[in-house]
Amino acid sequence: MPTEWDAFFDWLMGAEGRVVHHDPDDTGGQTCWGIARKHHPDWEGWAVVDRHAPKQPPRAEIEPLVSAFYQKLLASWWLSTPTPLREVLCDIVVNMGAGRATCLLQEGVNRASGQARLSVDGVIGPKTLAAVSRREPRALALDVCAVRLDAYTRIVARRPSQGKFLRGWRNRVASLKRFLSL
């Protein structure tokens, strides 16, 4: 991965920050720097987490495993998308999943046009690719950040127990925008 990856990964580790062993309201369950055990139970880093539980694993021991995981997970997004849009989308993949990242990308394109030009279906097909290629990456990144904030509000409206995470989610987007100078 290019050197931009190192800077983004450092930012991402600050945003994700640690192992969360148990929060009954967190729909992701136990996570290690954003990697959810329920979605990735076979990830090799869980052995390190379990060995150190209930304490945090040493960052020097867990960070290489987390970086390798994210490089593999995010490679297609990272390599095929211009900056700063790629960083915005990669963070959404980590925080909300790839399907949600695609939907928010489509919503961002629609927001800019002021109408629903794209179906928000979570599929990156020829229409989505064409619409994205017509947009300036920085402007589209800002639109995706805006619809991401809206999505968090919708999550809380559907599941009020998630409200305790809303400030952190908003702060994460604000931090990402500062990191990317958006």
- The Cα–Cα gap between 17 and 119 comes to 35
Closest to 106 measured CA to CA, from 126, 91, 80, 87: 126
pLDDT single digits (tens) 30-83? 888 889 998 899 999 999 999 998 899 998 999 999 999 999 989 888 888 999
- The Cα–Cα gap between 68 and 61 comes to 12
CA 121 to chain centre: 18
User: Per-residue pLDDT for 22 more than 80?
Assistant: no
**CATH for 81-182, options being 3.40.720.10, 3.40.50.2300, 1.20.141.10, 3.40.50.360:** 1.20.141.10
- The Cα–Cα gap between 170 and 177 comes to 11
CB atoms within 10 A of CB 182: 16
pLDDT single digits (tens) 94-116? 999 889 999 999 999 999 877 66
User: Per-residue pLDDT for 2 more than 80?
Assistant: no
| Helix and strand counts by DSSP (H, E) for the chain | 8, 3
DSSP state of 29: -
Sketch the domain layout of the chain as residue ranges: 1-73, 81-182
pLDDT single digits (tens) 24-37? 887 878 888 889 99
User: Per-residue pLDDT for 11 more than 70?
Assistant: yes
Q: What percent of the chain has pLDDT over 90?
A: 61
